[in-house]
Structure 1
């Protein structure tokens, strides 16, 4: 079954992390030390990145995150205020630091490794959720990930479903309790690794991806979208499978591709587009994102519109 929203905007509840990005020639082998070619401090976090991607597509983007009371929190506020969200709610805690991600990007492998210290992202309380209820009420699409405490993610999804919102879960990073959330989810967007962990089926080709999608759908999710990196994505709604091939890209940095896909998918759905239209748009948006350096460096609409005119693989 295809879905579309009623054009009322997107609410993203998620994480903010300061990304410490180190670029290397090639990933180190076990026991090997490699030199860093360059190092940057960038704003990130799956929630913040997805909200930023969403904001590129629609002004009606609302974002919530929790940060510490430290120097990194100042960077968070400055960066997020610059995005000009329709609303920005930042809860703070004195008991945990602002989240940090250590990211290694390899020039040879064209890929990345990420190590997280989620800090304040794991301290979202019931009171914090109560505060953002008006923003959830205003949106038609609610997007969440798993860089917050699972109880908070569940509370947001329950509230969104009670208000008849379209709910999207990006199950990253994978959490062993994610299956408890699935009956609350309209659209789930795992990558190959997450879909393998969730379904128990190791994905190594399209056939095994289809098997995994069937298993995940039976867990209670209406629409399953398994992202396949450079191979696009596979969708399943209980009736049929669809393939969406990737658009060509000159790859610079893949670290924000999944966030680009999820944020733009939610945004396009909120504009009243069908799920199929939104997936095609998000595939092009993600292809543009890997041509930019930095997970939060999302493409412009002009870049995406140009990408949509190119021939897909």
Structure 2
């Protein structure tokens, strides 16, 4: 099977994760039970999820010359993922995320300091056009400097590459930039921030999708946790049910979905099939601790996905 080539332009940050009986309130100190340091960042997490799901994906990100950057290189080398297009910043350090996880509910709080991946320069982007000429799909998020994101999106449109944007975390961005997306994948919070419609269920999700379609975005995928995923395309829309599992750590669930979703698109699945595939990837990831290390491999995914489609 011929798979479409994906380029991920986005973030890498090191995840510094602690588990505790409950999440701290303002000015509260909570004793934790476990600490781990591992690879993270929305862009890298999604790339790892797609790679483990079988995608042909090239990663373009930026790290610092520090111990956290070394962690990235070690992890990618162990995964067998190429680092040819990973840049190193002379000024800023590798990004980090401070993550607190409630060990009872699996819910989390996250503080991200993006560092090097918000310092992409014009010189850094010189190779992007040649990469995009050989690519079919561009996957992006909002954890990079927005001027670089806009320039790369424009390159992709000029090269007729399908642009998939996961607009996370929510940021103020022009509608002219959003209009360059072919597929946008916000969660309910991000959908509200960008559309102005509070997304609480299927009816409001459809209204929010209408706003995105009016901007010129043909395909809208709104993830809503346990409520499921609302998919709206020129051919119709419907809610795709969530897979309910016993979650131990929901950190990175959205990244797992997006990586699985884009892997499905690259294999020729339609929007609904790719959404179901992404749901399986996300449901498997939250049953493990961590972000990138929790992403399931293809054999594990197929056991569930193939069975549910029989």
Aligning the two structures, in what range does the TM-score lie when normalised by the shorter sequence?
Answer: over 0.9
For 2:27 and 2:69, the matched residues in 1 are separated by 34
For 2:121 and 2:54, the matched residues in 1 are separated by 28
Residue 104 of structure 1 aligns to a residue whose secondary structure is strand
1:197 aligned residue: 193
TM-score for both structures, normalised by structure 2: 0.94
Structure 1, 295-304 or 173-182: larger mean CA deviation: 173-182
**What is the RMSD computed on CA atoms of the aligned residues?**
1.9
1:163 aligned residue: 159
Deviations along 1:107-146, one digit per CA (max 9) or x if unpaired, are 2232111101011011011121112322222221110001
Structure 1, 188-197 or 64-73: larger mean CA deviation: 64-73
Residue 209 of structure 2 aligns to a residue whose secondary structure is helix
For 1:110 and 1:246, the matched residues in 2 are separated by 17
For 2:140 and 2:84, the matched residues in 1 are separated by 15
2:68 aligned residue: 72
1:305 aligned residue: 302
Residue 198 of structure 2 aligns to a residue whose secondary structure is coil
Q: Contact 1:247–1:310 at 8 Å: present in 2 too?
A: no
Residue 101 of structure 1 pairs with residue 97 of structure 2: yes
For 1:299 and 1:279, the matched residues in 2 are separated by 16
Unaligned runs of 5+ in 2: none
* Structure 1 residues 58 and 300: CA distance shift in structure 2, 3 A: closer
1:215 aligned residue: 211
> How many Å apart are 1:44 and its aligned residue?
0.4
Pairing of 1:1-313 with structure 2 (within 5 A): 7-85=3-81, 88-177=84-173, 179-238=175-234, 240-296=236-292, 297-308=294-305
> How many Å apart are 1:200 and its aligned residue?
1.0
Q: Contact 2:73–2:83 at 8 Å: present in 1 too?
A: no
Structure 1, 200-209 or 224-233: larger mean CA deviation: 200-209
> How many Å apart are 1:82 and its aligned residue?
2.5
> How many Å apart are 1:219 and its aligned residue?
1.5
For 1:139 and 1:86, the matched residues in 2 are separated by 16
Runs of 4+ in 1 over 3 A off after TM superposition: 309-312
Unaligned runs of 5+ in 1: 1-5
> How many Å apart are 1:250 and its aligned residue?
2.0
> How many Å apart are 1:232 and its aligned residue?
1.7
> How many Å apart are 1:291 and its aligned residue?
0.9
Q: Contact 2:142–2:167 at 8 Å: present in 1 too?
A: yes
Residue 126 of structure 1 aligns to a residue whose secondary structure is coil
> How many Å apart are 1:57 and its aligned residue?
2.1
TM-score for both structures, normalised by structure 1: 0.93
For 2:132 and 2:177, the matched residues in 1 are separated by 18
Deviations along 1:76-134, one digit per CA (max 9) or x if unpaired, are 21112223235641111121111000011112232111101011011011121112322
> How many Å apart are 1:26 and its aligned residue?
1.0
Residue 153 of structure 2 aligns to a residue whose secondary structure is helix
> How many Å apart are 1:273 and its aligned residue?
2.1
For 1:243 and 1:260, the matched residues in 2 are separated by 19
For 1:63 and 1:309, the matched residues in 2 are separated by 28
